[in-house]
Amino acid sequence: MTYVKAGGMGSTCGTDAGKTALRKEQRKVRDFVPERVRATLDARILANLQASSEYQDADLVLTYVSMDSEVDTRTIIAEALESGKRVAIPRCTAEKTLEFVEISSLQGLHQSRFGMLEPDASLPALKTPEFVGSICLVPGLVFDGLGNRIGYGGGYYDRFLAFYPGHKIALVRTRQLSCNELPHEAHDIAIDLLVTDQRIWRVNNNFK
């Protein structure tokens, strides 16, 4: 396995080829970090998230259910529910966007054809007005200081976030941060808040 330093990434300009290459190398970077180290970093990310006013003020948390080497959201889900917050997780739709379904535990979910845990198709999705006052934890492989992100490449989150009224928050291990501006296109929706294992980074140019 090749170890790719985050600082060594090329800043290719807005091309699909550039995004695809970054996805591939960042996936390796993320998988390369030993599980024990990831757990330590993720505990710090959790603490920083919980310390943020955006999290504290939110009564509803929209979050993916982590898998593989993604930043752990299962503890976040358990602690959010424990503290009385509402939690909703995504379901992929045929239109390649996301619907969010409220859950009360991680029980009863099923594995989607992409390997992620999803709520049953029969359960009702929340409607956009219910997202006011919520936060959305957005997954990604690599982020830059302007809030640009590169995900798995389905465009699911970009389509959903285009109509999302709450704070868009990324949970980021420091080595998933790019010091170069990432390639981005008109449809890409930037993150408002980066929560790393070291600090909380507010992307001011997103607050309009």
Ligand X SMILES: Nc1nc2c(c(=O)[nH]1)N(C=O)[C@@H](CNc1ccc(C(=O)N[C@@H](CCC(=O)O)C(=O)O)cc1)CN2
Q: Which spans of this chain sit near ligand ATP (rule: CB under 6 A)?
A: 19, 150-159, 162, 187-188
Is 116 an interacting residue with respect to ligand X (CB under 6 A)? yes
In the chain, how long is the greatest CA-to-CA distance?
Answer: 46
Partner touching 19 among ligand X, ligand ATP, none, CB below 5 to 8 Å by kind: ligand ATP
Write out the DSSP string of 51-66: HSHHHHH-SEEEEPPP
What does the chain come to in residues? 208
Q: Select from 9-17, 50-58, 153-161, 189-197 the region that touches ligand X (CB under 6 A).
A: 153-161
Nearer to ligand ATP, 102 or 158 (CB): 158
For the segment 26-65, give every residue that binds ligand X (CB under 6 A).
64-65
Is 14 an interacting residue with respect to ligand X (CB under 6 A)? no
Nearer to ligand X, 84 or 124 (CB): 124
Is 71 an interacting residue with respect to ligand X (CB under 6 A)? no
* C-alpha to C-alpha distance for 60 and 73, rounded to whole angstroms: 15
| Helix, strand, coil % in the chain, rounded to nearest 5 | 30, 20, 45
Single-letter amino acid code for the residue at 10: G
